[in-house]
Amino acid sequence: MGSYEPVKTAISRSGTNRSDIDAIFKNFKAARLNFELKAENDVVLPDYKGSTFRGAFGHIFKDVMCVSHSGNCEECSFDKVCMFKKIFDSPPPSNSERLRKYSAVPHPYVIEPPLDDKNFYKKNEIIKFSLILIGQAIDLFPYFAYSFGLAGKKGIGKMKKGKFIILRIINDKDQAVLYDYRNDELKALNNYYIMQDFMDSYDASKYSVSLKFITPTRIVFNEKLVSELKFHIYIRNVLRRISNLNFFHCGSTEENNNAEPELDFNYYIEKSLEIGAKGSLKWYSFDRYSNRQKTHMKLSGFMGDIIFEKVPSEFFWIIKLGELIHVGKNTTFGHGKYSIVSIV
């Protein structure tokens, strides 16, 4: 888990050439949609809201996207073209050399649940959450929105009694209102983040980068859970996630298999080894019930503040993009969310 698979054609050892990065990530795109919900009755949610939102969405999204209506994915003859499976289960393509030993590749969406400590929402109270869509998942935005709307009608939370309506959906990129319940019209999602939005000009200076890990972050390095985060471990995981999301969800894997250049991971890893870290991370554990596996699961990860010292500016695009797409395991629940506190 702590190493990368061999790259096919590495870019120059500078590792930071703007045109190279633009070419490698020319098809990368991501959108962040901010949802505003209104409780139709009293809503009771558990402490672990991410699992509740993902679970309610997942069941309905499957029904919405299913073309066979058989309910049995294992026996479905449409599994090769099923968009639910591609988005929700994300198996690696059969001809892919990358992650071929894994049952699934990174999912192209993240649900960021409400971050407040509230469990009880009164009727007419506003509930906010965000949805991040990556690559091909952006084209399915209407289906995501429709599925969340149905989830509100069917109910979420304790005994599925919490019902809500979608008041507004706002595009984080330009603050455009894509949906307003007053006219009940869903607008197209045509404006989204691309790699250029995360790129700055580089300079020779080094900076102190302060991050706050807001939700439990679970990172594995050399087959061990990480509790003390070092910069090179953080960079390895963010780079792996960026690269795999780009490869599997942002364009044709057939194109990428035809000797397309890939990022020189070793360059960034070698430079990251020089960068120190200090912080106050704490370990948190949560209990989650999985409807799919019909069992309670223990989820855990670190949260808190960390400062990376003397960071070259060539790492900034990685850090900024990681802030949007999260890092580590269980990102679809909203895990691995961090914010950039300062770069000085």
DSSP per residue, 140-165: GHHHHHHHHHHHHHH-BSGGG-B-EE
Nearest to 195 by CA among 78, 60, 30, 15: 30
Q: Is the pLDDT of residue 100 over 70?
A: no
Mean pLDDT of 57-85: 80
Q: Strand 185-186 to strand 193-194: parallel, antiparallel, or no bridges (unpaired)? A: unpaired
Taking only the tens place, the pLDDT of each residue in 200-251 is: 878 889 999 999 999 999 999 999 999 999 999 999 999 999 999 999 899 7
Q: Report how far residue 185's alpha carbon sits from residue 169's, in angstroms, rounded to the nearest whole number.
A: 11
Domain positions in the chain are 18-27+196-343, 30-193
Q: Report how far residue 332's alpha carbon sits from residue 344's, in angstroms, rounded to the nearest whole number.
A: 31
Residue 135 banded pLDDT, cuts 50, 70, 90 = very high
Sequence-distant (≥ 6) Cβ neighbours of residue 164 within 8 angstroms: 37, 38, 39, 40, 43, 127, 152, 156
Q: Is the pLDDT of residue 10 over 50?
A: no
Taking only the tens place, the pLDDT of each residue in 117-127 is: 899 999 999 99
Residue 4 banded pLDDT, cuts 50, 70, 90 = very low
- Coil/strand/helix, residue 48: coil
Instruction: Give kind and range of the element (H or E) at residue 232.
Output: helix 231-249
Lowest mean pLDDT: which of 41-50, 154-163, 291-300? 291-300
Taking only the tens place, the pLDDT of each residue in 158-204 is: 777 899 999 999 999 999 999 999 999 999 999 999 999 999 878 88
Mean pLDDT of 256-270: 75
Q: Report how far residue 244's alpha carbon sits from residue 262's, in angstroms, rounded to the nearest whole number.
A: 11
Residue 79 banded pLDDT, cuts 50, 70, 90 = confident
Residue 276 banded pLDDT, cuts 50, 70, 90 = very high
**Residue in the block written with tokens 């595009």:** 171
**pTM > 0.85: yes or no:** yes
Query: What pLDDT is attached to residue 90?
Result: 67
Residue 18 banded pLDDT, cuts 50, 70, 90 = confident
Q: pLDDT above 70 covers what percent of the chain?
A: 85
Query: What pLDDT is attached to residue 273?
Result: 97
Q: Report how far residue 276's alpha carbon sits from residue 258's, in angstroms, rounded to the nearest whole number.
A: 38
Backbone angles phi, psi at 131, to 5 degrees: -125, 125
Selected residue with higher pLDDT from 91 and 125: 125
Entry field: residues in the chain: 344
Report the DSSP beta bridge partners of residue 34. 130, 170
Instruction: Give kind and range of the element (H or E) at residue 270.
Output: helix 265-272
Query: What pLDDT is attached to residue 77?
Result: 77
Sign of the C-alpha dihedral, residues 261, 327, 275, 194?
Answer: positive
Mean pLDDT of 247-261: 64
Fold of 18-27+196-343: Alpha-Beta Plaits (3.30.70)
